[in-house]
Structure 1
Amino acid sequence: MQSKVSHKRRNTVLFIPPAIGGLTSHSGLGYHSSVALTEPSYVSDHNSHAITALLDALQQHYHCSVDGLSSAFIEHHFRQRELPAKAHLIEAGQVAEDVYFIHRGVLRVYYIDQQGNEVNQQFYQAGEVIAPVLSLTTQEASPFYLQALSEADILVAHYPSLHRSGRNNIDWLAAENAILKSVYLKTARREAQMLLGSAEQRYRWFLKDSPELAKQLPLYQIASYLGVTPVSLSRLRKQIKAASTPRP
C-alpha cells in the first residue's frame, strides 16, 4: 500500500546531482506526513571522539593530509549536534548552507515524486561527510530532504566559512576538494547502477558496497533506494538465497 504525502508544490533544484529520471517511485516510507525541521540541539562541549573521528575519516576515507588541520581548527568551524531519529536537517525548498560529518547514525537523502511518494536517493553513515554540493555552490533551493533514520551524532559546519578558510589552509582546501569529488563519484556511481543494472544487479551492488546498511535498514527503505517495490525485493532476496543454498 503506497503512502502518499500531502504537500504544496515546491521549487525544485538539485540537492546532489541525482538520477531522478532513472528511478522508479515507491512508497512505504511513512513518517513524512508533515515535514518540520528539527530545532538545533547543540552539545555545549565538543566531543573529542567526534573530532578525532572526522580527522581519521579525512585521512582514511578521503585520503587527505591533516597535518595542518588541528583540533582547534575543527572546533572553530564545526559544532556538534545530536539528532533524534526521523529528524530533518534540510527540507525541500531550502538553500543549503552547511556540511555535515556523521559521527554516529544513518541519514538519508530523499525526494517526493509527482505522485507524493518518498523516494530514497542516497544513504550516508558514520565516517561520511554530507555536502549538498549544487545548492551550496549555486545558492539555489533544493528539492531534497535530509533526514536521520536513526539517532545520530553529527558535526555541522557553515560551508562559506569553511570555504574561505581554504584560502589560508592548504590542507583544508585539499580536504574540501576530496569531499566534493567523493560526493560526485558517489552520485555518478548511483546513476550508472540505476541506468545500467537489473534489479538483481543493483541489489548485489548494494550488498557489496554497503553491507552494514543492508543489515540495519528496513526492507522498504532499501527497496525505495533500489527502485523496486518491497514485495519485489523480498522475492528477489528469496531467489538469491535459494540459488546460493547448496542442494543436498
Structure 2
Amino acid sequence: MEQLINYILQFGQLNQQQIDLIKSKAINKKTPKDAYYHEAGKIPREVIFINEGIMRICFYNNKGDEITKYFIDENNFLADINSYNQGIPSTEYVQAVTDCQYIALSKKALDELSMTIIGWDAIIAKITAKGLADKVNRISPMMTEDATERYLNFLTNFPSLANRIPLAYMASYLGITQSSLSRIRRNIR
C-alpha cells in the first residue's frame, strides 16, 4: 500500500487522514501469470496500481492476429481511461505476463475520494496526464524506426522488462515476427 501512497504523493499533498481514507478504499488483488485481468467487450469498473508484475495490453486485428500495444509494470496505474470514464466496453485485453499483485480502486471508491478529498481531482488529472504522455512516448518513436532500432530502444527504455517478457509478446509489441526478433538478437550479440 505504501507504493501506491508514495506514487500519489508525487502529484499532490495529502494529510494522514486523507491517506488513511485512500487506504481504506483500496483492495489488494492478484492475477496469475497468463490470466486475463480484463477482456475486450467488458466495461472497466476499477483502476489498478501494479505493485508487482507486468501486464500487457493487447487486441486482435482484423486478421485475427494478437497485437501487443504496450506493457505496464510496477509502480504504474493501469486503466482504460476512455472506457472507464464513459462506461463503454473496452476494445482491449489486459493479460498478466507474470504473476501480478496490484491495488484496485473501484469507481465508487474513486468517486467517494473525489467528493471527500479537496484537490483529489487535480491529483488524478496529473496522474492521468503522465500516464497518457508515457503511453505516447512509448508508441510514437516506433513509427519511424526499423525493427533493429525498435528492439534496441526497447532494451534502453525498458531494461527491467526485457528478460521478463516472452519473446512472442516482445515481437508482437515491436511489430515483427518472433523469428525476425531472434535474428535481430543474434546479429546484435
Q: What is the TM-score of this pair, normalised by structure 2?
A: 0.90
Structure with more helix by fraction: 2
Give, in whole Å, the separation in 2 of the partners of 1:174 and 1:211: 32
SS of alignment partner, residue 129 of structure 2: helix
Q: Which amino acid aligns with 1:58?
A: I
Q: Residue by residue, what CA displacement relative to the aligned partner does 1:103-151 show, whole Å, maximum 9, x if unpaired?
A: 1111111101122221111111111110211101222211101111111
SS of alignment partner, residue 222 of structure 1: helix
Give, in whole Å, the separation in 2 of the partners of 1:73 and 1:225: 38
In structure 1, runs of 5+ residues without a counterpart are 1-50, 242-248
Structure 1 segment 47-196 matched on structure 2, within 5 A: 51-59=1-9, 63-68=10-15, 70-196=18-144
What corresponds to 1:12 in structure 2?
none
What corresponds to 1:215 in structure 2?
163
In structure 2, runs of 5+ residues without a counterpart are none
Q: Which moved more, 1:170-179 or 1:96-105?
A: 170-179
Q: Which moved more, 1:183-192 or 1:86-95?
A: 183-192
- Per-residue deviation at 1:82? 1.8
Q: Which amino acid aligns with 1:214?
A: A
**Percent of residue pairs identical:** 27
The yes-or-no answer on 1:237 pairing with 2:185 is yes
Give, in whole Å, the separation in 2 of the partners of 1:222 and 1:58: 30
Structure 1 segment 18-33 matched on structure 2, within 5 A: none
Q: Residue by residue, what CA displacement relative to the aligned partner does 1:127-178 show, whole Å, maximum 9, x if unpaired?
A: 1110211101222211101111111111111135414522442343233112
SS of alignment partner, residue 150 of structure 1: coil
- 1:199 and 1:228 in contact (8 A); partners too: yes
Give, in whole Å, the separation in 1 of the partners of 2:135 and 2:19: 30
Q: Residue by residue, what CA displacement relative to the aligned partner does 1:6-48 show, whole Å, maximum 9, x if unpaired?
A: xxxxxxxxxxxxxxxxxxxxxxxxxxxxxxxxxxxxxxxxxxx
One of 150, 153, 169 as aligned partner of 1:205: 153
- Per-residue deviation at 1:187? 2.3
Q: Which moved more, 1:69-78 or 1:138-147?
A: 69-78
Give, in whole Å, the separation in 1 of the partners of 2:119 and 2:21: 11
- 2:11 and 2:127 in contact (8 A); partners too: no
Q: Which amino acid aligns with 2:4?
A: L
